[in-house]
Structure 1
Amino acid sequence: MKNKLLFSTIFAIMATIFIFASPGTTKASMLEMEAQGPEVTALQQELIQMGYLHTNATGYYGPATTQAVRQFQSDFGLIVDGAAGMQTDHRMNEVTSVAKAVYGEARGESFEGQIGVAAVILNRLESAEFPNEVNGVIQQQNAFTAVADGQYNMTPDQTAYEAVKQAWKGYDPSYGSMYYYNPEEVTSDWIWTRTPNLSIGQHVFAS
């Protein structure tokens, strides 16, 4: 697991320990088997969108939801316990943020090309030249066209989520690239100073 992703996981675990050890904290922050209510419904809707839950959102945390959470935790390097606490919630938010960027930037590209875009985001997360958390990388000024033009706010499809999963597991068809661009739509000459690694679809991936 990449260093910053590992740090993110450790941070989330420590935050969970702190909050649950604090006086006055309710159990609403932890969803697990037999929980019910709107928070469970919201979780189920996210899992359905990501392709992990294949039933309707019922608002009841039963075996199907538990298994969906367990699979998500396994895929994204978390402790696999089937309970949706702060650590899982934090990781789900990170994954959704990357999926939104992938969908906004590359939904017309091949699956390989979409994985490449996700990999670039994770590669930046590992670099000291970029912010050290997912939203910081994505929201960095002028970093992604989709953020600037609002396409980032579109709802990602399951292909975008699957691309993020493959990149998170370590598959990097961009070969460590930190940048990508469409040579037909370049608006800054600066990008030409980057070293091209390869092209996937309409995007050139570069270091």
Structure 2
Amino acid sequence: MKRLRMLIFLCVLVAGAMAAGAPAHAEAVLKYGSSGDYVWDLQYRLKTLSLFDQEMTGYFGSHTRQAVVKFQRKYGLQADGVVGPATWKALRRHSLNKSEMDIMARIIYGEARGEPYKGQVAVGAVVMNRIRSGQFPDTIRGVVFQPGAFTAVDDGQYWLTPNATAYKAALDAVRGWDPTYGALYYFNPKTATSKWIWSRQQTVTIGNHIFAR
């Protein structure tokens, strides 16, 4: 019985160590002929970047490979048409998948639905800037749900159903429109009382928000 308990205990330890050592992102290496959910995810990301204009099929064919090569060249990667760790990392920094796009639209709608369209894109741009900055979590989920980061998350407005305008603003932000000039923060000057936020370098005012680095 003692030996059995020890064996079970060792198995649990090994399983725990394997889980702890697993990478946070473990996407499959994709190349011509690959198929499945990861390819569908890849095609969605490439489509949001206007690099893939075909129907999303979940099959890695010649059109997908061409789109991958365009992406790799754009971001200074080895343009081999193979989606390995380096290409996945760049894709996560510069694009969103379907569920992530929903998160982006929700945070834009919750934070800025009363703002002019440019102001809604600006909120999305701040999210993308944070993902890429190295100063914040490197995923949209991590950025949006970082404690205290967004009022809409704290007060529940994040869970409102976003409209088509919010999705359009999300897409424009992901595709690179940044009307904030690289801002990482924004605030409403009528309600902001934090001395720290007022001390940040301001970049632009859009609607009711001041954007800052």
Which bracket does the TM-score occupy, shorter chain normalised?
Answer: 0.5 to 0.7
Task: Classify the secondary structure of the residue corresponding to 2:178.
Answer: coil
Note if contact 1:30-1:83 (Cα within 8 Å) is conserved in structure 2: no
1:132 to 132, 138, 157: 138
Aligned residue pairs: how many?
150
Q: Which moved more, 1:70-79 or 1:152-161?
A: 70-79
Among 77, 82, 88, the alignment partner of 2:56 is 82
Cα deviations by residue, 1:90-129 (Å, 9 ceiling, x for unpaired): 7011111011000000000010000000000000000111
Amino acid across the alignment from 2:112: A
Question: Does 2:126 match 1:112?
Answer: no
Provide the C-alpha distance between the structure 2 equivalents of 1:194 and 1:206, rounded to a whole number of angstroms: 6
Percent identity over the alignment?
A: 40
* Kept after mapping to 1: 8 A contact 2:126/2:180: yes
Larger CA Rg, structure 1 vs 2 = 2
| Residue 149 of structure 1 pairs with residue 155 of structure 2 | yes
Q: Distance in 2 between matches of 1:84 and 1:111?
A: 33
Note the aligned Cα RMSD (angstroms). Answer: 3.1
Q: Where in structure 1 are there 5+ consecutive unaligned residues? A: 1-10, 22-26, 33-69
Task: Please list every run of 5 or more consecutive structure 2 residues that lacks an aligned counterpart in the other structure.
Answer: 1-24, 60-87, 89-95
Q: Which residue of 1 aligns with 2:101?
A: 95
Residue from 175, 189, 198 that aligns with 2:181? 175
Distance verdict in 2 for CA 1:191–1:30, change over 3 Å? closer
Please tell me whether the aligned partners of residues 112 and 119 of structure 2 are also in contact (alpha carbons under 8 angstroms).
yes
Length-normalised TM-score, structure 2? 0.61
TM-score by length of 1: 0.63
How far does residue 83 in structure 1 lie from its aligned partner after superposition?
Answer: 2.2
Q: Which amino acid letter does the alignment assign opposite residue 188 of structure 1?
A: S
Find runs of 4+ consecutive structure 1 residues off by over 3 angstroms: 29-32, 70-73, 76-81
Point out the more displaced range, 71-80 or 168-177.
71-80
User: Does the alignment pair 1:14 with 2:20?
Assistant: no
1:193 aligns with 2:193: no
Q: Which amino acid aligns with 2:164?
A: Q
Would you say the 8 A contact 2:100–2:140 is kept in 1?
yes
Q: Which amino acid aligns with 1:83?
A: T
Contact 2:185 2:211 in 1 (8 A): yes
- State how far apart, in whole Å, the 1-side matches of 2:191 and 2:128 are: 23
Instruction: Name the CA distance, whole Å, in 2 between partners of 1:31 and 1:121.
Output: 25
Q: Which has the higher contact order (CA 8 A, sep 6+)?
A: 1
1:78, CA displacement in angstroms?
Answer: 7.0
**1:47-62 → structure 2 map (5 Å cutoff):** none
Question: Paired residue for 2:8?
Answer: none
SS at 2:186's partner residue?
A: strand
Amino acid corresponding to residue 14 of structure 1 in structure 2: A
